[in-house]
Amino acid sequence: MSTPNPPRTTLRSALAALAVLLAALFLAPPPASAAPVPPATFTEVTGFGANPSSLRMWAYAPANVSAHPAVVVAVHWCGGSATDMYNGSEYKSLADQYGFVVVYPSVTRSSKCWDVASPQALTRGGGSDPVGIKSMVDWAVTTYAADTSKVFVTGISSGAMMTNVLLGDYPDVFAAGAAFAGVPFACFATTNGSEWNSDCANGTIIRTPQAWGDLVRGAYPGYSGPRPRMQVWHGTQDDVLRYPNFGEEIKQWTNVHGLTQTPSFTDSPNGWTRTRYGSTGDQAPVEAISVQTGHNVYAAGMGARALTFFGLTPDPGPGTPNPPAGPCKVTSSVSAWNTGLTNSVTLTNTATTAVNGWRLTFTLPAGQTITNGWGATYAPASGAVTATNATYNAALAPGASVTIGYQANHTGNAAAPTGFALNGTACS
């Protein structure tokens, strides 16, 4: 005797249940992280998601982290690391004060520079470093139930270039960015695999606002949502990523926001020149600040200004004094030839207390290797270098200076080092 067919209603119910089960298995969001990082501790995070270029990730969450915190991604300079960015900026102390989470990405390739040049990096979801950083953001948002409307990115030098790239690739992820001494999105683009673009670095790539804006829009074709706000900072005497790049960034991001090149607001806080485009308030669509300094434009207090632009801290208001001076001032004088250079570095103690034993850390540009030095011992010979005092010059009274130097080989980039810090605190 044949088995009777089940009733159609029973079969439909079974199929519906199966559909629900499949949806739960394949369409559900990824599970949340097992646990946040220990409070008030700079901690490495592993297994955070897609990471095609093998980046490393550190995170910092204050003990008083907000219920639905903002997330700030802090991107280090070329030759630096997440640890350098943690030690050389004030985002940790600001997080303690305002309750947001900080993500510190770190490059693992030998140059310690971010990929801001490859076609993969300049396309949403194309691969390379931006994909890994986006995964870090996703981890932070999921782990801390973060406010997705308050995700921001800031960076210095190569990290500033990556800030431009991330806002172009992921306009739906980041609400705003602050770039200290960077270049426009796609300015560093290359097709031969090189990480360095001399034309862009030298400020000779000049485009119309429309052309710059089209490069950003081309990173995410078809996107029609709101664009992140952008704050750009640059030193007028920058000899690594020259000052014309500042004007090209302004062209690009004003065009992306559909604005003209005419500022809505101009002032001179702390001797800087600040212009705002699209509105006069401290959260204008585009804000640009030029400083009478070189490539090391970032100084203590500027991180707080970036957070004001993000909307995370109160407006300091007119007449606010200059950011506090760093513990040191550094001047660097490079003399270069075809494959070599010498650099004379003068370190001045600008603090009010004496220094007894010093370590001056800095980052050599990619391709430079120290062959010998004087006035200090240098280790390692490339990348993030520490110069340690000699026995005869260990003491520096307030206002006193010491001059040291080194000879190095280079492969084409003879620029001065960046990211100077005295005993772990960034120089002004």
**Which positions are catalytic?**
157
| Angle in degrees, 0-180, between the axes of helices 129-144 and 158-169, rounded to the nearest 10 | 70
265 neighbors 284 (Cβ within 8 angstroms): yes
Assigned token pair, 285: 């669509």
- For 61-110, list the strands marked E by DSSP: 71-75, 101-106
Question: Which residue type occupies 2?
Answer: S
58 neighbors 42 (Cβ within 8 angstroms): yes
CA gap 261, 158 in Å, rounded: 25
Strand pairing class (273-277; 265-267):
antiparallel
405 neighbors 374 (Cβ within 8 angstroms): yes
CA gap 373, 387 in Å, rounded: 9
**β partners of residue 346:** 331, 403
Neighbours of 375 (CB within 10 A): 18
Neighbours of 14 (CB within 10 A): 11
**Residue count of the chain:** 428
Assigned token pair, 229: 């706000």
